[in-house]
Amino acid sequence: MDSNVQLVKKVLKYTFGLVPIVAGLDKFTNILTNWSQYISEGFAGILPFDPTTFMMIVGVIEILAGVLVLTKTKIGAYVVSTWLVAIALTLIFSWSYVDVAVRDLVMAIAAFSLAKLSENNYSKANN
């Protein structure tokens, strides 16, 4: 049982460490998608700068969150979980990309699960 828990924790750690880093880096290249399309027109209208610049800022935050998961798993997992909920709520309130919002909520639950796994007796030092 203990080895299964450690395996799940490791898989979640690398998933929520690497995926935000890749997504964050892609905010600068738009290879995976045009990230600015996820910003509602209303929100884009109140930004003090171009939506592309905003997405680059988001990219930096995501890269930092991914690095935090890899180095301080418990704290990083809570940060990623909160970040994913915030993204999902933004999408739900604008009623655009609701499918992505649902997916992000599921990922937030998984990141929260990683944080909880990192708190209990199964966790190792520095997590």
Q: Tens digit of pLDDT for each residue in 24-72?
A: 999 999 999 999 999 888 888 999 999 999 999 999 999 999 999 999 9
Whether the CB-CB separation of 94 and 42 falls below 8 Å is answered with yes
Alpha carbon distance 46, 109 (integer Å): 30
pLDDT of residue 2: 87
Q: Tens digit of pLDDT for each residue in 75-117?
A: 999 999 999 999 999 999 989 899 999 999 999 999 999 999 9
Can you read off the two tokens belonging to residue 123?
A: 């966790």
